[in-house]
Chain A
Amino acid sequence: MSHRFRALEDLEAELTRVIAARAHGDAGRPGLAQRLTRARRGSRLWLAIPGIALLLVTTTIALAATGVILNGAAVSPSGSQSPVAGAGLPLPGQSRLLALRVPDPSGGPPWGMRVVHTTRGLVCVQIGRVQDGQLGELGIDGAYHDDGRFHPVGPGVLPTYAGGASEGGVTSERGSCVLANGDVTGNGEAWGSAVAAEFGGVDENAAFALEGHPGTVAHPGSPGPQAHPGPAVHRRDITYGILGPHAVSVTYREGGALRTQQVVPGVGAYLIVQLASSNSVPEGHGEAPGTDTPGEGPGTTGVLTSISYEHDGKICENGYNARTGGKVKIQHPCPAPNPYPADLRVTPPGSFVRRPTVALEVSHHAVTAAVFSFSAPFAVTSAAEGYSLWSKPCRGGREGGGVAVLDRNVAKGATVHLTLQDPFSPRCTGRSISVEVLYQSSGPDAKRSYGRTPGELLIGTATVRLPRGDRAARPPRPARR
């Protein structure tokens, strides 16, 4: 049977390709204690000193069996960190390892969650294994040379944050960060900041640090990452979040049953760790469906089926029928989250309008970058504010186009430099690009231009022409099918 529409045939072929490529599984591997032992046994250093190896292997077996593992080197922050760039730095005294502890299906150190407030106005949530009051990762399945140890991850090791006033926040290998003061809808003020994220099919070692290769890390001095996606029996589906001070409990599916977990009071934290389902594939981190907006119910495809909140002194609930996916009749449904306010203040064009200067970087007649510079009409004091630059794509939006985002604080009047890499596409016939520079803001004082998405203020435009004799540097991208 073929579809009436070619596009549906193409989509079916694409779905089939992806599912076939990702479907794999395994079973029958040893338990965590044995794997910690084997990992340690596999370490070349210990193999070189048999006496010590025997002693430590024996010790590791005993410790793993009792749930205590020797500590290894602490994880260090990657790259340089700054209080005014990226995610910022943890605010002193504002990092908290929550009391929440969730056992792993295979035993070993329980899972836990840390909430970190940063100098750039973010709330970051991180998960991992917990031992001696520390969040950390296990040296198995290719992580940390398979040393079988527990590697603490300090609060200074924050999720990566590329910059920009992204109201939806960001989930990366080290956790999830959102703006502490909520978005332009005021939902944050009304309900508290919300994080809803999941790690699908990741290894039980909690070493999520290498995107694309969940469960592995790049070892210092090693030539590159090791890919050990791990068999299904050692992979986990992890769902976690903070739902704000009004959340009371979450209900979720486990096997054929529904279970309810009381959230951590004050922050509304929940953490669910399950064996990866048979069709769960190593896919790493991502947003969890549905609960990215405070006060909203869960999506239909995640593990959560309902969320209870306390609202105006009463318990209300958002959810759906876990059996059919249909909406459930709820006696006290929670009020819907706020939509974008239609009357969000519009800032008319004024003194903030800028005309950016442009400098092209050219190598062997190929334009590799365009650097836009302008004086900042508004200060950027946190991740809730920022500047970005957008170039318009060609060919119906499928080719060309690019984005550059400021990832740090700037003072009012300071010169901002934004670099657009490969500004010209060889697949676009035009020899010029149109660029818009936006100031983005969130929270109750968000600005907007007429006709713009709330939070977007157009501060400048520019047209950049490809110099005669030069060409686009960007190699052709494969066309969308």
Chain B
Amino acid sequence: MPFYRQEAEAVLLFLTRRTLDGEVALELTAETFAQAWRGWERVRVDSSEEMRAWLFTIARRQLSHYFRRGQAQRAAVRRLGIRTPSVHEDDLAAIEDAAGLGEVRHGLAIELAHLSDEQREAVQLRVVEEMPYEEVARRLGVSEPAARARVSRALRALQSSLASASVADGGLS
């Protein structure tokens, strides 16, 4: 799968920078490539640039869905029977390091002040303190889906500031 080998890392890092979460980004990456495979026959592209643009359009839609609904869309992954691999802790650290999340997280500290108290706490726990969602939910006294939804909405609110963060995106912001 040369196309996957060529683009998978770029997609994963693109999504990691925007979700600030390597595990969520891997879920979105899996759905992106599953949808790309299903739609492959229907899209006419002449160049690798067009193909890449199409792929990232799918990735952006996954982001949009995630920010809107608080969870990754898994329609194509489910229908194809793909098991999204789990991420080893070391691998997760490497992904988030490659995505430059340390720098983004630093910038976030300033932007967090603009969020509501409940959103700030959710982002603080999940993104800054890197707690698993189960623990975030326990700390907030809400269900895990509710915690995920709160974090994703807070991140959507931060989206504009993230877009202006000085993180290279390979020209695909």
| A contacts, CB < 8 Å to B | 1, 3-8, 10-12, 14-16, 18-19, 22, 200, 253, 256, 277-280, 283-284, 286-287, 289-290, 299-303, 320, 322-327, 339-340, 390, 392-393, 396-398, 436, 451-453, 456, 458, 480-481
Given contacts A278-B41, A301-B36, A397-B133, contact A452 B143 (CB under 8 A): yes
Task: Kindly list chain B residues whose C-beta atoms are within 8 Å of the C-beta of A458.
Answer: 143
Contact, CB under 8 Å: A451 / B118: yes
Contact, CB under 8 Å: A451 / B140: yes
Task: Kindly list chain A residues whose C-beta atoms are within 8 Å of the C-beta of B35.
Answer: 289, 299-301
Query: Measured between C-beta atoms, what is the minimum distance from A428 to chain B in Å?
Result: 12
Q: Is B29 an interface residue (CB 8 A)?
A: yes
Q: Which of B111-160 contact A (CB under 8 A)?
A: 118, 132-134, 140-146, 149-150, 153
Residue of B nearest to A274 (CB): B42
Query: Measured between C-beta atoms, what is the minimum distance from A396 to chain B in Å?
Result: 6
Contact, CB under 8 Å: B85 / A325: no
Identify A324's interface contact among B45, B75, B98, CB under 8 A.
B45
Cα distance A279–B149 when bound, in Å? 35
Cα distance A268–B150 when bound, in Å? 34
Task: Kindly list chain B residues whose C-beta atoms are within 8 Å of the C-beta of A15.
Answer: 1, 4, 33-34, 37, 82
Selected A-B contacts with CB under 8 Å, 16 pairs: A3-B5, A5-B98, A6-B88, A14-B83, A16-B1, A289-B75, A289-B76, A290-B61, A299-B35, A301-B42, A324-B50, A324-B57, A325-B43, A436-B143, A458-B143, A480-B85
Query: Measured between C-beta atoms, what is the minimum distance from A116 to chain B in Å?
Result: 24
Nearest first, the 10 closest Cβ-Cβ pairs linking A and B are: A301-B39, A325-B54, A10-B85, A277-B41, A451-B142, A325-B57, A301-B35, A7-B87, A6-B91, A324-B50
Task: Kindly list chain B residues whose C-beta atoms are within 8 Å of the C-beta of A322.
Answer: 42-44
Contact, CB under 8 Å: B39 / A11: no
| B contacts, CB < 8 Å to A | 1, 4-5, 8-9, 12, 26, 29-30, 33-45, 50, 53-55, 57-58, 61, 68, 70, 75-76, 78-88, 91-92, 94-95, 98, 118, 132-134, 140-146, 149-150, 153
Contact, CB under 8 Å: A253 / B42: yes
Identify A451's interface contact among B68, B91, B150, CB under 8 A.
B150
Query: Measured between C-beta atoms, what is the minimum distance from A410 to chain B in Å?
Result: 23
Given contacts A279-B40, A327-B57, A397-B134, contact A12 B8 (CB under 8 A): yes
- Besides A7-B87, A453-B149, A480-B86, 15 new A-B residue pairs in contact (Cβ under 8 A), listed by A number: A7-B91, A8-B8, A8-B9, A10-B85, A15-B1, A15-B82, A278-B41, A286-B79, A289-B76, A299-B35, A323-B44, A324-B50, A396-B132, A397-B134, A480-B83
Identify A392's interface contact among B80, B84, B134, CB under 8 A.
B134
Cα distance A452–B118 when bound, in Å? 12
Identify A300's interface contact among B8, B9, B57, CB under 8 A.
B57
Query: Measured between C-beta atoms, what is the minimum distance from A400 to chain B in Å?
Result: 11
Contact, CB under 8 Å: A453 / B70: yes
Task: Kindly list chain A residues whose C-beta atoms are within 8 Å of the C-beta of B61.
Answer: 289-290, 299-300
Contact, CB under 8 Å: B44 / A256: yes
Contact, CB under 8 Å: B81 / A18: yes
Cα distance A287–B73 when bound, in Å? 11
Query: Measured between C-beta atoms, what is the minimum distance from B158 to chain A in Å?
Result: 15
Given contacts A7-B95, A22-B80, contact A280 B41 (CB under 8 A): yes
Residue of A nearest to B36 (CB): A301
Contact, CB under 8 Å: A277 / B42: yes
Query: Measured between C-beta atoms, what is the minimum distance from A283 to chain B in Å?
Result: 5
Contact, CB under 8 Å: A397 / B144: yes
Given contacts A11-B33, A277-B41, A283-B79, contact A452 B142 (CB under 8 A): yes
Task: Kindly list chain A residues whose C-beta atoms are within 8 Å of the C-beta of B54.
Answer: 300, 324-326
Query: Measured between C-beta atoms, what is the minimum distance from A321 to chain B in Å?
Result: 9
Cα distance A392–B75 when bound, in Å? 23
Contact, CB under 8 Å: A4 / B42: no
Task: Kindly list chain B residues whose C-beta atoms are within 8 Å of the C-beta of A287.
Answer: 75
Query: Measured between C-beta atoms, what is the minimum distance from B49 to chain A in Å?
Result: 9
Residue of B nearest to A434 (CB): B138
Query: Measured between C-beta atoms, what is the minimum distance from A332 to chain B in Å?
Result: 21
Contact, CB under 8 Å: B84 / A11: yes
Residue of B nearest to A10 (CB): B85
Task: Kindly list chain A residues whose C-beta atoms are within 8 Å of the C-beta of B53.
Answer: 324-326
Cα distance A340–B71 when bound, in Å? 14
Contact, CB under 8 Å: B79 / A8: no
Cα distance A458–B144 when bound, in Å? 13
Contact, CB under 8 Å: A452 / B41: no
Residue of A nearest to B44 (CB): A323
Contact, CB under 8 Å: B37 / A19: yes
Query: Measured between C-beta atoms, what is the minimum distance from A466 to chain B in Å?
Result: 20
Contact, CB under 8 Å: A12 / B5: yes
Cα distance A14–B76 when bound, in Å? 14
Task: Kindly list chain B residues whose C-beta atoms are within 8 Å of the C-beta of A16.
Answer: 1
Query: Measured between C-beta atoms, what is the minimum distance from B89 to chain A in Å?
Result: 11
